[in-house]
Amino acid sequence: MMENNSIDEILERLPAHIRSPLQQCRNLYKDKATEIVLRSDRPVTVYCGKDYYGVLNSGVMSDSADNADSVISSHSDIESTILRLCDYSVYAYQQEINNGFVTIGSGVRVGLSGRAVVQNGRITNIRDVTTLSFRIARDVLGCSEGLIDKVDPLKGVLICGEPGSGKTTLIRDYARHLGYHHRVSVLDERGELTAYNRGKFGFDTGLCDIFIGYPKALAVTSAIRSMSPELIVCDELGERSDLQMIRDSLRCGVAFIASVHASSIDDLYTRRATASLLHTGAFRSVVFLSGKGQVGRISKIIDQGDGDD
């Protein structure tokens, strides 16, 4: 049901000449699609893991996006779609746009690329958007079962994988499970973990306490002060500020369940930010996912022992 809702959220925001053929061939991609991508004056593309397909005006999918009958998204199509994504108030979504994405209902994250406006080293706007990438959100209940008896969440768990490997899906299900056994605060900075939209959660959040839209460091402070969590769950660490946030939380006796972009232990240690996270001693267990197109599938669990390496 959640998968269909995600696709509905996407289709209703697209121009009619794009929405109609995608609706006609929906049954061919609804169970396996990971992204629907619009590019300025280029064919509309449906990604299914590592494979991609074009969509024809006749309402069928093609193994090639380079077809004379391919559905083409124009620059004006992209502009009108952005207006729909922002409920016709781009100003209200400016901060999200500056960060390169907009999150809509059912946890769908829409990535943007285009011409950045930069002032004093900070992006203040993205103009002339040339690509919109709709990431299809899925709530896979039970996908974290492989973690439950193999790691101790109170000693910290770091979930690692390449983009599209299902880190968010896995961490969401794990948080839901943990919420029935521990006091858990979930930091949902981008709205992907809970699919929060207009007062409702699109995904099952169990008994977790949810902090939506907070910068991570502020969310951690608020959670510790107001909810007394044993565990804090957040997605996609990797900024320098995250390191201090983790250290401060450890001093308060709070454990972290978090994710990072990394495909191997060598990858983790090669990048300074992620290597520093490991050396905090915050993560006893490091979990690697199988890869793109194999959502949430665990390939390896590394026990780092107690404390720093």
Residue pLDDT, tens place only, 44-100: 999 987 899 999 999 999 998 889 999 999 999 999 999 999 999 999 889 889 989
List Cα–Cα distances, 207 to 107, 137, 181, 186, in angstroms: 19, 21, 9, 10
The confidence score (pLDDT) of residue 309 equals 41
The model's pLDDT over 175-201, given as tens digits with 9 standing for 90+, comes to 999 999 999 999 998 778 888 766 778
Which of the four pLDDT bands, split at 50, 70 and 90, describes residue 211? very high
The model's pLDDT over 238-297, given as tens digits with 9 standing for 90+, comes to 787 888 899 989 999 999 999 999 988 899 889 888 888 888 999 999 999 987 666 678
The model's pLDDT over 124-149, given as tens digits with 9 standing for 90+, comes to 999 999 999 999 877 888 999 989 99
The string of DSSP letters for 116-167 reads EEEETTEEEEEEEEEEEEEEPP---TTTTHHHHTT--GGG-EEEEE-TTSSH
Letter string b/e over residues 203-224, b meaning 16 or more CB atoms within 10 A of that residue's CB: bebbebbbbbeeebbebbbebb
Query: What CA–CA distance (Å, rounded) separates 102 from 123?
Result: 15
Check: CATH 3.30.160 for 2-135? no
**Dihedral sign of CA atoms 253, 259, 261, 266 in order:** positive
**Fold topology of 145-303:** Rossmann fold (3.40.50)
The model's pLDDT over 220-250, given as tens digits with 9 standing for 90+, comes to 999 999 999 999 999 988 787 888 899 989 9
Query: What CA–CA distance (Å, rounded) separates 86 from 81?
Result: 9
Residue in this structure with the two tokens 């939380």, named with its chain if needed: 249
Q: Which sequence spans correspond to the domains of the chain?
A: 2-135, 145-303
What share of the chain in percent tops pLDDT 90? 57
Strand residue runs (E) in the chain: 35-39, 42-43, 45-48, 51-55, 61-62, 72-73, 101-103, 109-119, 122-135, 157-161, 184-188, 196-197, 200-201, 209-212, 231-234, 255-261, 285-289, 298-303
